[in-house]
Chain A
Amino acid sequence: MSATLAAPAPLRAASWSRRWSRPLKGLAGVLLLLAAWQVSVPLVGMSSYFYPSPADVIASFTELTRKGILPVYLADSLLRYLTGLTVGALLGVGVGVLIGLNRTASLALSPLFRFLFAVVEVAWIPIFVVWFGYGIKTIILALIYVVFFPVLYNTLLGVRTAPQILVNAVRSLGANRWQVLRLVILPSALPGIITGLRVGAGFAFRGLVFAEIIAAKTGIGYLIFEGTQSQQTARTIVGMIVMGLLWLAIDQFYLRPIERATIERWGLTVDAEQRT
């Protein structure tokens, strides 16, 4: 300990390194993985059909972009995803509200919905294929189905847990049915609806890739599948990476902000992350 008091180190330096150390460490982790991958290629010693290297994947990515394949596949997948998500969500909320408002209906239909949900959405693909063949109809219908149930469930829950006190209060002030819906039920159901949407969005994304593997001729899922079929496994990996980045983007830029906005606004401290 020195006799004189040294001036404290400038705060800026300390906070800078603290702010950046985390992302840098994360980046280091990514680079470490890539390096391990690159190094393992000669160790595994198989052709790029079996075990492509990062260099192969980058080359494949450039090729796919240059040839205009990747943008089109990406756009097709996104379009299908958004369509399925929107229609499924609208149907889920609509039916959820309708059923939720009627006590008997919700009691009666819950077990049926529970069972239908237990028949996992992937199990519906074969019968959709029989009914609608391979192609975009099957894919979007599968997506709608996948989104419909979580949204329905959570909407139902949200509607049924609308505080009766508020409903009574608003009614006693002379509100008609629509106003009760708009002023009390929908706002109190909103966090549930958003939760349902988040779950549905996740299921729909995985369902999209699965449906595209089985029933599509374009799209990221198809790219993943076709890469292995045409001896271009590097393309499969490009597809997987694009899929991962796409989901991270959807989650970070849409799902989490929206959930944070609604749940924070209504003061519910629910751990948003746990509902992945």
Chain B
Amino acid sequence: MLRLPALATACVLAAALLYWLAGVLGAQHKLAALEPLPPRANYAVTLAFPPERFHQLRLQDKGRVVEVRKRTVYIMDMSPAALHDVAREYWVDTIVPWAGR
């Protein structure tokens, strides 16, 4: 009787877990070239498309967004934790270090 709710919950949780795992793997891939991560650094985050307000709002929490040019967002003063958060998002294509301004 209560099987259906339990099954549905299990599916939802499994999907969430898979989403998170995929993000973590993707992050490892994107950040591989950047290791080791300095405590504070600037990065140019390139998306697969021009960022919308949604993406800018999310990136603003992670560091100081300085400029948005075409598909790339330039962020300064990102901590490694924030960088990992950004890298986990699947709409982030590449992350390269940036000289800053």
Task: Say whether B1 contacts A68, CB under 8 Å.
Answer: no
* CA of A69 to CA of B56, assembled, Å: 12
Determine, out of A18-26, A94-102, A203-211, A255-263, the stretch whose residues face the partner at the interface.
Answer: A255-263
CB B1 to nearest CB in A, in angstroms, measures 4
Task: Say whether B1 contacts A67, CB under 8 Å.
Answer: no
Residues of A within 8 A of B5 (CB): 253-254, 257-258
Task: Say whether A264 contacts B54, CB under 8 Å.
Answer: no
Residues of B within 8 A of A218 (CB): 54
Residues of A within 8 A of B49 (CB): 66-67
B48 at the interface (CB under 8 A from A): yes
CB A264 to nearest CB in B, in angstroms, measures 7
B-facing residues in A47-80 (Cβ within 8 Å): 66-69, 71-72, 75
B98 at the interface (CB under 8 A from A): no
Most interface-central of B19, B57, B91 (chain A CB within 10 A): B91
Residues of A within 8 A of B1 (CB): 257, 260-261, 264-265
Task: Say whether B8 contacts A254, CB under 8 Å.
Answer: yes
* CA of A217 to CA of B55, assembled, Å: 12
Task: Say whether B54 contacts A261, CB under 8 Å.
Answer: no
* CA of A264 to CA of B2, assembled, Å: 12
What is the interface residue range for chain A against chain B?
A: 10 to 19
The answer, among B4, B52, B57, B91, for a CB contact under 8 Å with A217, is B57
The answer, among B2, B7, B55, B90, for a CB contact under 8 Å with A261, is B2
A-facing residues in B23-70 (Cβ within 8 Å): 48-49, 52, 54-55, 57-58
The chain A residues found within 8 Å of chain B, CB to CB, are 66-69, 71-72, 75, 217-218, 249, 252-254, 257-258, 260-261, 264-265
Q: What would be 25 A-B contacts, judged by CB atoms less than 8 Å apart?
A: A66-B49, A67-B49, A67-B55, A68-B55, A68-B90, A69-B52, A71-B19, A72-B58, A217-B57, A218-B54, A252-B4, A253-B5, A253-B7, A253-B8, A254-B4, A254-B5, A257-B3, A257-B4, A257-B5, A258-B5, A260-B1, A261-B1, A261-B2, A264-B1, A265-B1
